[in-house]
Amino acid sequence: MDNDNQQQKHEEVQQRAFLLCKEYLHGVWNSISQNDMHIKKISGGLSNLLYLCSLPAEVSPSGNEPSCVLLRLYGQVRGETEEALAGLLTEAVIFTLLSEKQRGPRLLGVFPGGRLEEYIPARPLLTRELQDSRLSGMIAAKLAQIHAMDVPINKHPHWLWNTMNRWLENILEMKPSLTKPAEAAMLSDFLACDLEQEMRWLKRELEDVESPAVFCHNDLQEGNILLRELDQEVVVIDFEYSAYNYRGFDIANHMCEWVFDYTCPHPPYFTANHQNYPSLQQQQFFARKYLEALPESEGSCTDEEVEQLLTEARIFTLASHFFWALWSVVNGAVSTIPFDYWVYGKARFEAYYKHKHHLINTQQVNP
């Protein structure tokens, strides 16, 4: 995009942002001009554009209106499929519920194509901070609160298998469209593992695990956990993948994220340090804090409950690796984001098979 087009796009967004803030926030926002309002792009991709809209420094709120807000504009829903639109609706409902329960940013306005959110001065956690016991305990308690929510969406845990089946279908149809020899070769390596048969085995094993279906975040990595500047509390954000799922998946997925750091500035744009995977003591600490935070626990739990939760997590670690490996291959074929999805997919597949062999050798799953 050339400079003239960029400037035109910026002016269009600024005008829309000004009118939305004026309409939904009222107060002093009605007394400033479009040129007075400050707007800064925070992030943006295919799914969302995020802008920080602020009053000028010399203008103070006249009532309870905020001095700055986040403007989220939904991107084009590719193909506007029923599934994609349902996902957008689900995310909006979840955000509203979290806002009402004060477990996330307040919802300040909803309009066709986006929403206005409370701006929380905060930063995302660093991967190494997941090991901090104070933060880990807060994350565990926050996850328990999320799992206890009653969200008005389909409560059967079909999401995991439906999503992986769809991605697998895409992968099986992908090879003729790959023009880069390296990508085609890597895809052939993946397909040589007979992913269809592997997923059938995985589903059989996971169905034998008694892990309750709860409302899950499904992507609880450090980038989706904010640390508030004001009180140093954690806030969970980005419920793009949230759905009813097995609680073992959410616990296992978070623990896997202790290993992966996505802040690497050069290819493959991530690092994997398996030494950072939580120790048994750290796992037990997280599980206990999680169980104690559940509403029905009354602040206590037994050693047996801790061990049951960790048993679920150990086996659902397979699902986490397999899920994100498939996701990586699908995105590797289409994404222009500077991230080596192919290398990441290989890393997750390798972690999957290594963990599978460990579970088989220790007789925790069937061969």
Q: What is the pLDDT of residues 262-279, one digit of tens each?
A: 999 999 999 999 999 999
What CATH topology corresponds to 122-361?
Aminoglycoside 3'-phosphotransferase; Chain: A, domain 2 (3.90.1200)
| Interval 229-255: pLDDT, tens | 989 999 888 888 899 999 999 999 999
Please answer whether residues 257 and 130 qualify as being in contact, where contact means their C-beta atoms are separated by less than 8 angstroms. yes
Q: Place domain 3-81+106-118 in its CATH homologous superfamily.
A: Phosphorylase Kinase; domain 1 (3.30.200.20)
Residue 106 has which token pair?
């307040």
φ and ψ at residue 73, rounded to 5 degrees = -110, 125
Strand partners, 124: 226
Q: Domain segments of the chain: what residues?
A: 3-81+106-118, 122-361
List strands edge to edge, sheet with 122-124: 122-124, 225-228, 234-236
Give the pLDDT confidence score for residue 336 in this predicted structure.
78
Residue 88 has which token pair?
């957008």
CA distance 149 to 90: 14
| Interval 45-71: pLDDT, tens | 445 688 999 999 999 998 889 999 999
Please answer whether residues 271 and 260 qualify as being in contact, where contact means their C-beta atoms are separated by less than 8 angstroms. yes
CA distance 262 to 140: 21
Bond into 268 cis (ω within 30) = yes
Report strand pairing: 48-54 vs 38-44: antiparallel
Please answer whether residues 318 and 205 qualify as being in contact, where contact means their C-beta atoms are separated by less than 8 angstroms. yes
Single-letter residue type at 219: D
Residue 85 has pLDDT above 70, yes or no: no
DSSP-assigned letter for residue 279 = P
- CA 201 from chain center: how many Å? 26
Please answer whether residues 291 and 147 qualify as being in contact, where contact means their C-beta atoms are separated by less than 8 angstroms. no
Give the pLDDT confidence score for residue 120 in this predicted structure.
85
CA distance 190 to 195: 8
Of 83, 77, 118, residue with least CA distance to 98: 118
Strand partners, 40: 52
Percent of the chain with pLDDT over 70: 92
| Interval 303-357: pLDDT, tens | 999 999 999 999 999 999 999 999 999 999 888 788 999 999 999 999 999 999 9
Single-letter residue type at 229: E
First-to-last CA distance in the chain? 53
Give the pLDDT confidence score for residue 99 in this predicted structure.
72
Of 47, 37, 45, 30, residue with least CA distance to 14: 37
Residue 146 has pLDDT above 90, yes or no: yes
Name the pLDDT band for 77 (thresholds 50, 70, 90). very low
